[in-house]
Structure 1
Amino acid sequence: MGRFRRFLTTAVLATLLVGGTAGWASASGESAPSGPLPGTASWLADDSLGRELPDPATATPAEVAAFFAGLSGAQRQRLVEDHPTVVGNLDGAPVHLRYAANAPAGDRVLAYDPRGRGTIAQVAGDLEHAAHVSVIVPGSDIDASAFDRTARRAADLQAAAGDDTAVIAWAGYTTPSGIGPDLATGRLAEAGAERLARFTAGLDAAGLPDPALFCHSYGSVVCGLAADDTDASDIVVMGSPGMRAADAGALGTDAHVWAAKSPHDWIGRVPNVEFLGLGHGADPTSPGFGATVLPADDVPAHDAYFAPGTSTLTAFAAIADGARS
């Protein structure tokens, strides 16, 4: 009984601490948008090309890329004009077509789904000609309406890494909102991992370099669960509550795994446990985990790992542009 009480205390602490200063979430938790993208029925009914269009729900990114490769420029442009919500979110479609389809949502937007709290991916740099690509995976309380923080981190990393590096701010999953059970469980991270794996497969199908993943806070849980289904060259976690893996070897990836945790980060007070689905497991910066630990003593807070002038941003930039391996 004593052990069970200690566990309950740990679970409550983990839930509260991972929530930080955010507001209270509903007891029922968050729900990711389900069902087909808006415009899918019209897309699937379109027979103007004399052949079926790939089903957004079932076609692989490689199949999507092959489909677009077989079209003329005029045919591609017509699909953008007639079906922007589908083309703009279709992993494997050419980058410039996705930009054109998502133009009403903003400059260099690679994906945008307005359903629910909204998901969005935006590019800093020249993605189509980049020698190196990075993807920032944010943690809790990030959605289309609170995307500026993630976009700013992408811009700061891209500026530090250089012109041959493109950085994608990927708020492409439903994140935990406020303080609630979603923060201490992997439910939303599991759904996010599937979306991240498909997104990176789309980058690969579009002929882009293998990405480096930069995963903050709860986003590191997403990256941990997606690790064996991506072709990432590097996985960098910071302010992580755990990756739902006992060690780096259990992630099932050939990517170089890096980890950073500031002594000023409240995440250090979160117990690294996983029991009956609660908690996210081992600290990636612990000696036994097997990640390469990056210096972070000058990072002042949980949300400051990408701040200009910090040792972490300097290290992240070196990883992003392939100079550090």
Structure 2
Amino acid sequence: MRRFARTLGTAVAAVAVVVGTAGWASGDSQRAVTGPPPGTADWRAETLAGRPLPDPASAAPLEVARFFAELDDPARRELLRRHPLVVGNLDGAPLPLRYEANRIAAAATGEARYAPLAAADRQILAFDPRGRGQVAEVFGDVERAEHVSVIVPGSDNDATGHDRRRAPSTGPAGMATALRAAAGGSAAVIAWTGYTTPVGVGLDAAGGNLAQAGAVRLVRFTRGLDAVGAPDPVLFCHSYGSVVCGLAARHTDAADVVVLGSPGMRAGTADALGTRARVWAARGPSDWIADVPNVELAGIGHGADPASAAFGARRVPAGDVRGHAGYFAPGTASLAAFAAIARGEAR
């Protein structure tokens, strides 16, 4: 009874922290963008040489890859011209075709905030303008890379803030750029802001609804990489992104799952994640995430601390990391360790 009372008291205190402090109360409630992209209805209504097109909602990425492999270039380009938003987000479709489709789709929105994504030198692997917008960008050559990493960011990230000016080596694009520079030319890195992230640190950040929706999208995205022959990826999951990765891990073919600045992965131990991937954790000495209680009650909180010895993750050195977003800063021990993991060299 005393143990129950202590546990309940800790959980109540955690909820009080979540809803009662200025920092946590600053978040705005978000509705997850899910399902296939805009234009799917028109895509489903078409056929090609009497064949239905693969359903963006239900066709497996490998099925999509086989469909496009059987098309000649004029047929592929006709689908690209007529349905850029669908082709650009269709996991399993050829990557160069998706890059071109997303350039067209971003430009077609007519919105200044998306104009940079339409630049000819960008490799935009996914673009969905609904809500705050979602985007995935490739740095390097996924088709020829020996190693592929995926950055899964946390709160306050979306298509417009994907590469906005901020402290160097922070934000999805900044983290990806720093990791690729450190890992070398044989590695490709994808900045994946492919889910609706929390805004601020309110109840969305303390709950799991957005992470659950994001996990579904991350699983399909990684299966799309597999369908086009990419190596098994390393997932680098920052902050709330580590909650997404915790829920997705058992359903991906990730070689490694690396969490940094994590509030928890909704699992009590690394083994409980149910993945064959190696699990790594990093937390810097001045990261405010250490002040977030590692409990879960009635859907609030994300459970055990992945950086604790009891969790069982491999530790990444992070003693020189500053704050919550400094893990990819050049010269840090954490970035050097991340690069070794990305290259498949860490043990």
* Aligned pairs (5 A) from 1:235-274: 235-274=257-296
Moved over 6 A (4+): none
TM-score (norm 1): 0.94
Distance in 1 (CA, whole Å) between partners of 2:260 and 2:157 is 16
| RMSD of aligned residue pairs (Cα, Å) | 1.8
The one-letter amino acid paired with 1:267 is: I
Distance in 1 (CA, whole Å) between partners of 2:193 and 2:19 is 22
TM-superposition CA deviations, 1:174-230 (whole Å, max 9, x none): 011123211111111011111000000000011110000000000000000001000
SS in 2 for 1:195: helix
Query: Is 1:181 matched up with 2:203?
Result: yes
Tell me the CA shift for residue 50 of structure 1. 2.1
SS in 1 for 2:311: coil
Greater Cα shift, 34-43 or 290-299: 34-43
Cα gap change, 1:215 to 1:272, in 2 (>3 Å): same
Tell me the CA shift for residue 2 of structure 1. 6.7
Tell me the CA shift for residue 39 of structure 1. 1.3
Tell me the CA shift for residue 15 of structure 1. 5.7
Aligned to 1:212: 234
Tell me the CA shift for residue 127 of structure 1. 1.4
Cα gap change, 1:286 to 1:179, in 2 (>3 Å): closer
Cα gap change, 1:34 to 1:319, in 2 (>3 Å): closer
Tell me the CA shift for residue 24 of structure 1. 2.2
Distance in 1 (CA, whole Å) between partners of 2:9 and 2:306 is 26
Gaps of 5+ in 2: 107-116, 164-170
Aligned to 1:123: 138
Query: Is 1:315 matched up with 2:337?
Result: yes
TM-superposition CA deviations, 1:251-284 (whole Å, max 9, x none): 0000010000011100111111112211111111
Aligned to 2:160: 145
Aligned to 2:83: 83
Distance in 2 (CA, whole Å) between partners of 1:129 and 1:210 is 13
Cα gap change, 1:15 to 1:312, in 2 (>3 Å): farther
Tell me the CA shift for residue 67 of structure 1. 0.8
Is this contact kept in 1: 2:321–2:332, CA < 8 A? yes
Aligned to 1:163: 185
Count the aligned residue pairs: 321
Query: Is 1:234 matched up with 2:256?
Result: yes
Cα gap change, 1:82 to 1:23, in 2 (>3 Å): farther
SS in 1 for 2:234: strand
Distance in 2 (CA, whole Å) between partners of 1:7 and 1:240 is 18
Distance in 1 (CA, whole Å) between partners of 2:101 and 2:343 is 29
TM-score (norm 2): 0.88
The one-letter amino acid paired with 2:144 is: H
Aligned to 1:110: 125
Distance in 2 (CA, whole Å) between partners of 1:194 and 1:51 is 28
Distance in 1 (CA, whole Å) between partners of 2:175 and 2:195 is 17
Distance in 2 (CA, whole Å) between partners of 1:172 and 1:15 is 27
Query: Is 1:282 matched up with 2:304?
Result: yes
Tell me the CA shift for residue 12 of structure 1. 2.9
